[in-house]
Amino acid sequence: MTATLLITRQLEVHDHVLARDWRLDGDTGPADVRFLDDATAGWSYPASFGGERTNTVSDTTPVVLQCYFTFGDEGEVVFAVVPAGNLRGSGCAKHDTAELQFPLTTGGRVDLGTLTAMLDELEPRARAHDVHALVECRYFGPCPADRR
C-alpha cells in the first residue's frame, strides 16, 4: 500500500469524525505515515458521559467512545471502534464494552457509510452514560436489574 493511500484513508476518517465533533488523540496526525503505528493515535468522542471530565486511572476509568486503525488477528489493517463503557467485562451488559473491528474495503479504505451508521447508534449512548454508574457497576458488580 502506498503512503499516499495510507494518508488519504486516514484523512477521510479524520474529516468525517471531526465533522461529528470528535477530537484527534495521540502524538501523530493522520497526515503522517507513522499514524498507523502510533499506539496512541486515533479519535475520541469528548461528549461521552455527557461531556463530564474524569481523572484517568489506567485499567479502571471507563473509556470514552473512540476509534482507531489497528491490526486484526491475521496482521491485516482493520478499523476499530470502542463504545463508551467499562472494559474487561466486570459489570453488566449495559455498561461493559469491547473493541469492535471491521475490515477495510477492497480499496483499503474505511466504509464511511458503515461507520456513520455505527456512530449514529453509539454517540447518543455514549452521551447518556453516567460515569458514576459505570464505576459503581465495575466495582460492585452487575447493576441490580442485571443480577441473576
**Residue 140 pLDDT class (50, 70, 90 cuts):** confident
Residues ≥6 apart with Cβ < 8 Å to 102: 78, 79, 80, 81, 111, 114
Domain ranges of the chain: 3-146
- Model pTM? 0.91
38-75, pLDDT tens digit by residue? 888 999 999 999 998 887 877 778 999 999 999 999 98
Write out the E strands in 19-61: 23-25, 42-44
